[in-house]
A and B are shown apart, each in its own frame.
Chain A
Amino acid sequence: MSMLWTRTPTPRSTIGSPPVAPSSPEAGRQPAPPATPTGRLGPAAADGEGGDRGGTDHSGTDHSGTDRGGTDHSGTDHSGTDRGGAGTTVAAAALVGLLLLPFLPLVLASLSQGYFHPQLLPETWSLRAWRLVLAPGAGTWVALRDSLVVAAGVTLVSLVVAVPAGRVLGTRSFRGRRAVEVVLLLPVLVPGIAVAIGLHVTFLRLGLAGTLPGVVLVHLVPATPYVVLLSAGVFANADLGLEDQARTLGANRRQVAWSVTRPLVAPGLAVAALFGFLVSWGQYATTLVVGGGRVVTLPILLFASAAGGDTAVTAATALVHALPAVALLVATARILGRDVPTLGGAR
C-alpha cells in the first residue's frame, strides 16, 4: 500500500484545462486549501517541496478537456480503467443530459407566453419576455452594470491582496501557515447571511449600507479567500526556479517579474480572478442585506422577478444572468487552453 504514497501525484498543469469555475462558492473552495481539509495524499508530499500540494488539484481542473497529446496519463488503455465503448458514452451522455435538463424549461419559458400546464412545448411562442427584459429602460441593464461593477471591484481588490499572499503561501513553508489557511478558509464556509447580518448595522453607521462600495466589501468576504488560496496553488505549481535562472543571467527584478514570472502565473491567476468574479456574480444574501434593496444586482433582480408572477420574464432574466458567467468561463478556458504547454509542462 505504501507504494501508493511514494508516487506523489503532482497536479501538473492544473490550471491547464477548462477550469472548474465555481459560481457561488464551491468549485474554487475545494481541495486547494490543503491544510485543514487534508488535501495531502501522504507523507511524501512534504512541506516545502516546491509547495507540492500533495495531489489535490487546486482548481479541480479536468485534463481531459484539453488532451494535449500525451499529457493525459490515463489516455492509454489500461485494464485498471477499462476503457468503455458506446455503452459508457451513452451513460455519460445521459448523465450530462440530466445535468443540463433544467435549462430546457428555462429557455422554453423565456420564449413563450401563457406557457401553462400541460403545454410541453409552448403553444404561443413569443419574444415578449426578451423584449421586456432587454428594453433600453429595463432594470436589467442597471442590474447588469451594477453586477459587473461590483464583481470587477471584488476581483480587483482580491487579486491585489492575493498575489503577494498567494506567492508566500504557495512557495514558502513557515510556522503558522496552516493556521493562515484555516483563517482564510472560514469566511468561505460561513453562511453569507450571517456575515451580512453581522456587518450590516456597522455599515449603516459608516454610511456604507445601500452603496456599491459596501456591497463590494461584503462580497470580498467570501471571494478573497478563494482568490488567495487559488493563487497559492498557482505559485506552488509554477516553475519559479526559472526566476533564479533569469536573475543569474543578469535580469533585474522588474525584468524577471515581467518576462518570467508573469507568463508563468498569469493564466493561473486569471483563473483565480475568474473565481473571485463568479463568487461575487452569484451573491444574493449578502447583497440583499447590505445593499438594502438599493443596490440591485442581477441576482436581486432575478429573485424579485421570480416573486413577481411573470414566469417568462423571470426565465429570460435568469438566462441573462447566466450568460456572462458561462461566457467568462469559456473565454478563460480558451485562453488557458492555449497556454497549457507553457504552464508547468516541465513537470
Chain B
Amino acid sequence: MSALLSDQVRRWSRDDTVRTWARLAPALVLVGVLFGGAVWSASSRSLGVGAIGSPGPSLDAYRRLLGDPEFWPSVALTTHVAVTSTLLSVALGVGAALLLRRVHFGRRSLTTLFQFNLPIPHVIGAVAILLLLGQSGFISRLTAGLGWTAAPADFPALLYDPYAVGVIVQYVWKEVPFVGIVALAILRAAGDDLETAAATLGASAWQRFRFVTLPVLLPGVLSTAIIVFAFSFGTFEVPLLLGASYPAVLPVLAHQRYTDVDLANRPEAMALAVVVTLIVIVVVLVGAALARRAVRRAGA
C-alpha cells in the first residue's frame, strides 16, 4: 500500500474512532454522571467529607460499621440468601429448560406461560408470596382443608424466619423463568446435532448432559448466575416485606441507617452503601473471570 493510501486509512480509522466514541458519549456520560456520581457521593460522605461540621476524611463510619453488632449477621444472612437463591434458580432453571425443550404437546403455550412472571415487579411477587406461603396463607388453608394442619401455627413458618425461606422462594420464583429462558435460547441456538451424534455413538443421557449440553450452557448460565446473585444480594423490597426483624439484610440495613432520625448515622449508611456496592462488584468481576476460565477450559 502506498504511503498516501495508508495515511488515508489511518485518517479513516481515526475518524472512525472519533465517531465511535462520539456515539458512545451520551450513554457513557449519562451513566457516568449518575452512577459515578452516586458512588462518588456515597464514598466521600462515608468518609465524612461533605457533611456539615465534619472535621475531614476519616474511617470512623467504617470502623463503626464493622463494629456494629448487626453488620456481620447481616452480611451472613445476605450472602446466604444470595447464594442459595442463585444455586436453586440455576439448577431449577436449567432443569426447566431441559424439560421444556422436550415437550411436544402444547410446547408453545407452555413456554409462553413459563415466561409469565418475568415482567412482574418484585413488590407484586413479594405480596403474592406473602399471601401464598404465610402461616395463614393459601397453602396453609389447603393443608387445613386436607386435614394436615389445623391452626395457622401448625403450618411451617416460611416467612419472617431466620433462614429467609420466603425471601429465597420469591427470588427463585422470579429467576427460574429467567434462567430457563436463557438456557432455552442457548440450547435452541446450539441445536442438538451434537447430542444426536453423541447418542449415536452410545453416550447415555447423563453423559450427553455432562459432556455436551452442560458445556454449551455453561458460559451463558454462568453469566446469568452472576446476575441472579447480584440481584438477590441487593434487593431491598422483598426482604423488607418477607424477612424477619433481625438481622436485616444489608440493603434493608442501609436504608434503616439512612432514614434514622439521628442524622449522625448517615455516614454509616453511606459506608453500608459503599460496602454493599463493593461486595457486588467484586463478586461480579471474580465470577466473570471464573466464567471466562471455565469457558476457555471447556472450549479447549
List residues of A whose CB falls within 8 A of some B CB.
1-5, 7, 9-12, 14, 18, 20-27, 29-31, 33, 36-43, 55-57, 60-67, 72-74, 78-86, 88-89, 91-93, 95-96, 99-106, 108-109, 116-120, 157, 160-162, 164-165, 167-169, 172, 174, 180, 183-202, 217-218, 220-221, 224-225, 228, 278, 281-282, 284-285, 288-289, 299, 302-303, 306, 311, 314-315, 318, 321-322, 325-326, 328-329
Give residues in B with beta carbon < 8 Å to A.
Answer: 16-17, 20, 22-24, 26-28, 30-32, 34-35, 37-42, 45, 50, 96, 99-108, 110-132, 136-138, 140-142, 144-145, 152, 173-178, 181-182, 184-200, 208, 212, 215-216, 219-220, 222-224, 226-228, 230-231, 233-237, 240-241, 250-251, 254-255, 258, 269-270, 273-274, 276-277, 280-281, 284-285, 287-288, 291-292, 295, 299-300
CA distance A119 to B131 in the complex (A): 13
Which one, A3, A64, A103, A288, contacts B111 given CB within 8 A? A64
A63 to chain B, nearest CB (A): 5
State in angstroms the CA–CA spacing of A166 and B30 once bound together.
14
- The answer to whether A79 and B196 have CB atoms under 8 Å apart is yes
Q: Are B122 and A284 in contact (CB under 8 A)?
A: yes
Count: A-B pairs, CB below 8 Å: 447
A298 to B40, CA, bound (A): 30
Q: Do the beta carbons of B102 and A193 come within 8 Å of each other?
A: no
Ranked 9 nearest A-B pairs via Cβ: A37-B223, A191-B234, A80-B195, A282-B121, A198-B38, A57-B185, A198-B42, A102-B128, A117-B136
**What residues of chain B lie closer than 8 Å to A7, measured between beta carbons?**
190-191, 193
Q: A25-B227, A193-B255, A194-B234 are in contact. List 7 more A-B contacts (CB 8 A).
A: A56-B219, A78-B196, A82-B102, A99-B117, A117-B140, A198-B270, A315-B127
A57 vs B188: C-alpha distance in the bound complex, in angstroms? 10
Complex alpha-carbon distance, A93 and B227, angstroms: 27
Q: Given contacts A9-B190, A198-B42, is CB(A193)–CB(B178) below 8 Å? A: no
Assuming the contacts A36-B288, A183-B28, asked whether A20 and B181 have C-beta atoms less than 8 A apart, the reply is yes
Q: With A104-B138, A118-B145 in contact, is A218–B34 under 8 Å at CB?
A: yes
A168/B38 contact (C-beta < 8 A), A73-B191, A299-B121, A318-B127 known: no
A180 touching B37, Cβ below 8 Å:
no
Residue of B nearest to A277 (CB): B119
Taken together as a complex, chains A and B put the C-alpha atoms of A82 and B234 apart, in Å, by 40
Bound-complex Cα distance A106 to B23 (A): 46
Name A35's closest neighbour in chain B (CB-CB): B288
Query: CB < 8 Å: which of B40, B42, B104, B138 contacts A83?
Result: B104
CB–CB B291/A99 < 8 A: no
- Chain B neighbourhood of A162, CB < 8 A: 27
How far does the alpha carbon of A102 sit from the alpha carbon of B177 in the complex, in Å? Answer: 14
Instruction: Flag if B131 contacts A24 (CB, 8 Å).
Output: no
| Given A116-B136, A193-B273, A194-B276, A278 contacting B127 (CB threshold 8 A) | no
- In the bound complex, CA of A79 to CA of B199 (Å): 7
- In the complex, the answer to whether A224 meets B276 with C-beta atoms within 8 Å is no
- The complex places the Cα of A183 from the Cα of B281 at a distance, in Å, of 11
Assess A89 versus B103: contact at CB under 8 Å? Given A167-B23, A190-B234, A191-B233. yes
